[in-house]
Amino acid sequence: MPVDNDALVRAFVEAFNAKDTDRLLPFLHADVVFRNYGDDEIRGRDALLEMWRNVFRTFERVEFETVHQAVNGDVVIAEQVHGLALPGGPLAPVMNMAVYEIHDGRIAAWRDYTNPVHARTLLS
């Protein structure tokens, strides 16, 4: 049964708003490789979910949305806003560009491109 990669990635991004890694798990290939440029590469679903557990504990609010998205077969490129708020702080709209590679109906590679300096400025 073919996978609708557009719908898959949109549902994945929406799942972040619950701040619950159990909602992310079904979207991720067991051997997923995540690269947030400026940080170390993360390999494997368990390691990636642990990283997101830490993010969810740090931020009081997480509100991700897709602005634009393009799909070419098993590659999805998405312009996103990662809304993040520290406890008691305002929601910071961090712009992000993400590239996803889909294998066997799950995200096997994921690369995020964000300006970390601007993101820190928005969060301070």
Give the CATH number of the domain where residue 86 resides: 3.10.450.50
Tell me the pTM.
0.92
1-5, 37-41, 106-110, 119-123: which is most confident: 106-110
Q: 33: closest CA among 89, 79, 101?
A: 101
As a whole number of Å, the end-to-end CA separation of the chain is: 46
Quick: pLDDT tens for 41-74.
999 999 999 999 999 999 999 999 999 999 999 9
Please give the pLDDT value at position 2.
53
* Average pLDDT, rounded, for the chain: 94
- Tokens 């979207």 label which residue? 27
Print the domain residue range for 52: 5-123
Average pLDDT score over residue span 85-91: 94
Please give the pLDDT value at position 38.
80
Quick: pLDDT tens for 16-35.
999 999 999 999 999 999 99
**Contact call for residues 52 and 21 (beta carbons, < 8 A):** yes
Q: What is the count of structural domains for the chain?
A: 1
- Tokens 């993040």 label which residue? 84
Average pLDDT score over residue span 77-98: 95
